[in-house]
Amino acid sequence: MHPLHTAIAQEQEFCARNYHPLPVVLTRGAGVHAWDTAGRQYLDMMSAYSALSFGHSHPRLVAALTDQAQRLALTSRAFHSDQLGPFLKRLCEVTRQDMALPMNTGAEAVETAIKAARKWAYEMKGVPEGMAEILSCEGNFHGRTTTIVGFSSEQDYREGFGPFAGGFKRIPYGDIDALAKAITPNTAAFLVEPIQGEAGIVVPPEGYIAAAARLCKQNNVLFIADEVQTGLGRTGRLLACDHENVIPDGLILGKALGGGLLPVSAFLAKTEVMDVFEPGSHGSTFGGNPLAARVGLEALNLLVDAKLSERAAELGPWFENQLRAIASPLIRTVRGKGLMIGVEIDPAYATGREVCERLLAHGILTKDTHETVVRFAPPLIIEKADLNDAVEQMRAVLGELETSRVRKRA
């Protein structure tokens, strides 16, 4: 048919094969849309794993970025900048945390949380040196560093990358009794995603987050929420923890915090926890740089001004119901919260990948997770009409797959 696109050929030759992208070459984005090099328009229903909550190149964020880039982009933390303070003040205000430590990627902020929890355990809780334990969940995704993949339950993430750091224990997700049993006097923290994104949009039983936070408090264990994906409006509240009125002892943010323009992440905590850090104990050359701080602050203000959490709360359930109403035999379940929705496909009919490839042909960008789940996490600025279009294309694709499957059997 058409020759292999040069950009794809170059990636295949020069880029490590650590991803398996869908066959589309994007060249431009604006709002909820992106365009390929042939000028075809797509509706972005994945928004870079929730990093594009404000859509592509939001004018307000681009204006902040370009203005700051021409003024002062990088200082390193060897000096103060006039941007970091205002950004972190606002970030602490909206998340109801005391202090923040700025980093760049989600994984770095998770690493920061791990360091904070361990040091807090030794200095504040009195855990014997070298004995601190951190609990995490089956199916977790917290990033790709060697420490983090070391406590993953996913073989693909781990295989060939050991030996791994000790001090981690895994428990079943959504099981409060398992958490109660796993806590020991040496437990420093429970690290958990309020909804597991990469595991396939897994929503725990109602009350789990509140019960886990309570249990942690009773046992002097830090309750640390990884809201890199669920945070900043995605699930219909500013934080997913807000659904159960939980203010975590530690909070990890990333992805959307950079406004879809830059990698910006942070670990936030109450003062008692953050006080374990002193000059020299942790750092990052780019963490908290003026460009990131300016864009991050603008992103937070935009999130509040445009009422994006409220939009996700209003449009999410409607969209979820529309997807459910497709009532295709290919759909096993539709689950999620706000505008973070997973559609589980019956593998007897098709893989998630097949559904995504066909959606691409129908002008919808999204990606499967864990083979069977098609993820829908559009920019939070999306309009109902666009969501409706996504539903119609999903209906068409599932119809096609159903027909071809019946034909295959006949």
Ligand X SMILES: *Cc1c(COP(=O)(O)O)cnc(C)c1O
Catalytic center residues: 141, 226, 255
Question: The tokens of 383 are what?
Answer: 């309009």
Q: Where are the beta strands (DSSP E) in 155-221?
A: 168-171, 187-192
- Burial of 344-362, coded b for 16+ CB within 10 Å and e otherwise, reads bbeeebbebbbbbbbbbeb
Binding mask 170-209 for ligand X (x = CB under 6 A): -----------------------x---xx-----------
> Which C-beta is closer to ligand X: that of 193 or that of 249?
193
CB of 194 to ligand X, least distance (A): 9
Closest CB 224 distance from ligand X, rounded Å: 11
259 with 337: CB under 8 angstroms? no
Nearer to ligand X, 136 or 187 (CB): 136
Nearest to ligand X of 188, 240 (CB atom): 240
Please report, for residues 4, 26, 278, 363, the alpha-carbon distance to residue 39 in angstroms, rounded to integers and kept in the order given.
Answer: 17, 9, 52, 12
Residue pair 241/247 in contact by the 8 Å Cβ criterion: yes
Number of helices (H), then strands (E), in the chain: 14, 15
Residues 281-310 binding ligand X (CB under 6 A) are none
Number of residues that bind ligand X (CB under 6 A): 16
Least spacing, CB of residue 67 vs ligand X, in Å: 25
Taking CB under 6 A as the binding criterion, the range among 17-25, 65-73, 141-149, 369-377 that sits at the site for ligand X is 141-149
- 226 counts as binding ligand X under rule CB under 6 A: yes
As measured in angstroms, the least distance from the Cβ of 16 to ligand X is 16
Query: Which part of the chain contacts ligand X (CB under 6 A), choosing from 1-9, 136-144, 153-161, 386-394?
Result: 136-144
Supply the minimum distance, in Å, between the C-beta of residue 232 and ligand X.
12
Nearest to ligand X of 255, 375 (CB atom): 255
Tell whether the torsion through CA atoms of 180, 116, 100 and 340 is positive or negative: negative
Q: Among the candidate windows 28-36, 122-130, 135-143, 288-296, which touches ligand X by CB under 6 A?
A: 135-143
Q: Which residues are within 8 A (CB) of 111 and not within 5 positions of it... i.e. 6 or more apart?
A: 143, 145, 147, 148
Taking the complex as a whole, how short is the minimal distance between the CB of residue 109 and ligand X, in angstroms? Answer: 8
By the rule CB under 6 A, 157 interacts with ligand X = no
The residue range among 67-75, 137-145, 319-327, 393-401 that interacts with ligand X, by the rule CB under 6 A, is 137-145
Least Å from the CB of residue 125 to ligand X: 25
- Which residue among 228, 331, 359, 398 contacts ligand X (CB under 6 A)? 228
Contact stretch for ligand X (CB under 6 A) within 113-121, 200-208, 221-229, 380-388: 221-229
In whole angstroms, what is the distance from residue 27 CA to residue 39 CA? 9
Give the one residue of 53, 229, 235, 309 binding ligand X; rule: CB under 6 A. Answer: 229
| 254 scored as a contact of ligand X (CB under 6 A) | yes
Tokens of 397: 């694709």
Tokens 């509706």: give the residue.
Answer: 43
- Nearer Cβ to ligand X (137/364): 137
CB 263 within 8 A of CB 296: no
Query: What are the start-end ranges of the H helices in 255-339?
Result: 271-274, 290-305, 308-325
Per CB under 6 A, contacts with ligand X among 43-72 are 49
Q: Name the one residue in this structure whose structure tokens are 């000059």.
A: 279
Which window, 20-28, 156-164, 223-231, 279-287, contacts ligand X (CB under 6 A)?
Answer: 223-231
Q: Residues 29, 31, 55, 143: which binds ligand X (CB under 6 A)?
A: 143
CA-derived radius of gyration, the chain? 22
Min dist. Cβ of residue 302 to ligand X (A): 20
Residues in Cβ contact with 209 at an 8 Å cutoff, skipping those fewer than 6 apart: 192, 194, 225, 240, 241, 243, 244, 246
Distances (CA, A) of 186 to 5, 117, 134: 55, 11, 9
Please tell me whether residue 140 adopts helix, strand or coil conformation: coil
User: According to the binding rule CB under 6 A, does residue 107 interact with ligand X?
Assistant: yes
Q: Which residues bind ligand X (CB under 6 A)?
A: 49, 105-107, 110, 141-143, 193, 197-198, 226, 228-229, 254-255
